[in-house]
Amino acid sequence: MDMYTSAAIILGVMVLVYFIALWVKLSTELAMLVAALAGAVAGGHFFPARHVAEGAITYLDINLIFICATLFMNILKESGGVAFVVRSIIKTFHNSRVLLLILLSILLLIPGALTGAGSVTVLITGGMVAVVLNYMGISKIKTAAIIFLIAGLSAAAPPVSLWAMMTAAGVNMPYVGFFWPLLIPCVTGALFTVFFLGWKGTKIDVGKAFEELPVPPEKMNWTRIIIPFVIFFGLMFMGRKWPHDTPVVGLPLMFLFAALASYLLSPKKLDFFRISADTIKQLLPLIGTLTCVGILVQIMTLTGVRGLLAITFITLPAYLVIGSLFFFLPITESVLMYGSAAVFGVPLVLLFNSMGLNPIIALAGMSVIWPLGDALPPTAIIGRLTVDVAGAKDSYGKFLKQCIVPAIVIMILGTLMVLYSKQLGFLTGL
């Protein structure tokens, strides 16, 4: 049997088993695991313990970031810090909708831009922003759409864009020249999203908001809130400013230090162990999915399925490849998450390079499109998380509907960047 046939059969088995698993009501992450195991068996690997374990460890560091960042936010929330910040924002900015919308988009852009993970945005500032947006007369489902889309853009935004970074490393390209090519579409997309979905609404009823919002402990003040952030940003700044005179701290530990500071500064006594255990419980779907994606990609690589998908896509006619990026990238993202950068990003960038396109601009354009897939089933992990954080009770389909227009604008932006990457080459500054 030639490799095409065998890889196609294994792919068929994996897809079939995946859907059967969903049909018998297994969660997406377990369905992925079962599909991976079925693929391994179909490929003649009957006890792939090493491959399961090796695939499972792929996203260990990213999972650590998620855990520590979320722990930090949960402590801040339980100490009353979040309520305090939301009250202050409403008090100061309730008169200017424009300023408020811009401020909220910045709040959403920062965490993901620094960590490369949209879910960190959703978990860190998403909840806070959602409350304010609700008081601005924006429905919960629209709020969820705003937070999800900007969170996605924040993940693609510089300085840390994991898709761009992983692909760049995969094609031996330094992570240089990406700042403006990533920042411009991300900020444009974020502002469009927030004004498109958030412009219509009502004026904030300050009295009502203050009545409903949880009351922070009396001793809560800006100092207690800001110090943990100063520690986090201070460590990050030190690493950037004096990279060779300071030790490598890493994002997980930076978030952990911020979390500990927040815990120590909390005006009321908190149960650190309980909050930590709840954090893991809250993140179980996200961590579980990433872990199982790693396993799935490993088995797909082992059996040739990954190669089959990659070769099939990149050998399509060039206009089809570029013309279908807008839905192809989100779909691969929805199945493989960051794995999509390694599986498809690498051959695509090399393909664009050989077509004479600017690989940096093209990759930046792709990086803006990728995160949209985080709302799509089967994983839909960040989409589901956002709907949950925003407290929306509507159907998931309604959430997706709200996302459509800004998503199309972002897709067009990204595709145009790939198409005109040569002309936009000046943005890299190289």
| Contact stretch for another protein (CB under 8 A) within 124-132, 188-196, 200-208, 295-303 | 295-303
425 lies in the binding site for another protein (CB under 8 A): no
C-alpha pair distances (Å), 39 with each of 47, 214, 296, 299: 12, 50, 9, 7
Residue span binding another protein (CB under 8 A) among the ranges 3-11, 101-109, 146-154, 387-395: 3-11
Among 310, 331, 405, 409, binds another protein (CB under 8 A): 310
Our finding on whether 288 is near another protein (CB under 8 A) is: yes
CB of 78 to another protein, least distance (A): 16
Q: Render the burial of 291-313: b for 16+ CB within 10 Å, e for the rest.
A: bbbbbbbbbbbbbbbbbbbbeeb
DSSP H helices in 24-96: 28-42, 49-56, 60-78, 81-93
Quick check: 132 and 390 in contact, CB under 8 A?
Answer: no
Q: Tell me, by CB under 8 A, how many residues bind another protein.
A: 93
Q: By CB under 8 A, tell whether 366 contacts another protein.
A: no
Task: Of 46, 36, 29, 32, give the one whose Cα is nearest residue 10.
Answer: 36
Which residue from 119, 121, 134, 291 is in contact with another protein, where contact means CB under 8 A? 291
Contact 331, 69 (CB under 8 A): no
- Tell whether residue 8 is a contact of another protein (CB under 8 A): no
Query: CB of 257 within 8 A of CB of 231?
Result: yes
Chosen residue from 172, 218, 319, 393 binding another protein by CB under 8 A: 172
- Max CA separation in the chain (angstroms): 73
CB of 100 to another protein, least distance (A): 30
Q: Residue 109, interface with another protein (CB under 8 A)?
A: no
For position 354 contacting another protein by CB under 8 A, the verdict is yes
Nearest approach, Cβ of 245 to another protein (angstroms)?
7
DSSP classification of residue 425: G
Say if residues 29 and 288 touch (Cβ distance below 8 Å). yes
Helix (H) or strand (E) holding 230, with range, is helix 222-241
Output DSSP code: residue 215. Answer: P
Place of tokens 């993901």: 112
Task: Measure the CA–CA gap between 229 and 227, rounded to whole angstroms.
Answer: 5
Residue 115: both structure tokens together: 């960590």
Segment interacting with another protein (CB under 8 A) among 87-95, 167-175, 183-191, 222-230: 167-175
- If one asks whether residue 151 binds another protein (CB under 8 A), the answer comes out as no
Q: CB nearer to another protein: give 56 or 376.
A: 56
DSSP symbol at 379: T
Per CB under 8 A, contacts with another protein among 44-63 are 47, 49-58, 60-61, 63
CA dist 273 and 263 (Å) reads: 11
Interface positions, 61-80, toward another protein (CB under 8 A): 61, 63-64, 67-68
Query: From the CB of 342, what's the least distance to another protein, in Å?
Result: 7
Written as one letter, the residue type at 135 is: Y
Fill in the per-residue mask, 264 to 283: x = in contact with another protein (CB under 8 A), - = not in contact: ------------xx-xxx--
Name which of 170 and 267 has its Cβ closer to another protein: 170
Q: Which stretch binds another protein (CB under 8 A): 87-95, 142-150, 311-319, 373-381?
A: 311-319
| Region binding another protein by CB under 8 A among candidate stretches 98-106, 122-130, 350-358, 403-411 | 350-358
> Residue 266 CB, nearest distance to another protein (Å)?
19
| Residue 304 in contact with another protein, rule: CB under 8 A | yes
Establish if 423 lies at the interface with another protein (CB under 8 A): no
x-or-dash pattern for another protein, window 239-258, by CB under 8 A?
A: xx--xxxxxxxxxxx--x--
Contacts for 235 with CB less than 8 Å, ≥ 6 apart = 249, 254, 257
Among 79, 193, 262, 298, binds another protein (CB under 8 A): 298
Q: Report the candidate in 323, 309, 312, 327 with the shortest Cα–Cα distance to residue 376.
A: 327
* 175 forms part of the interface with another protein (CB under 8 A): yes
Tell me if 114 contacts another protein by CB under 8 A: yes
CB of 216 closer than 8 Å to CB of 164? no
23 touches another protein (CB under 8 A): no
Dist CA 303 CA 308 (whole Å)? 10
Q: What CA–CA distance (Å, rounded) separates 55 from 342?
A: 13
> Closer CB to another protein, residue 184 or residue 350?
350
Nearer to another protein, 61 or 212 (CB): 61
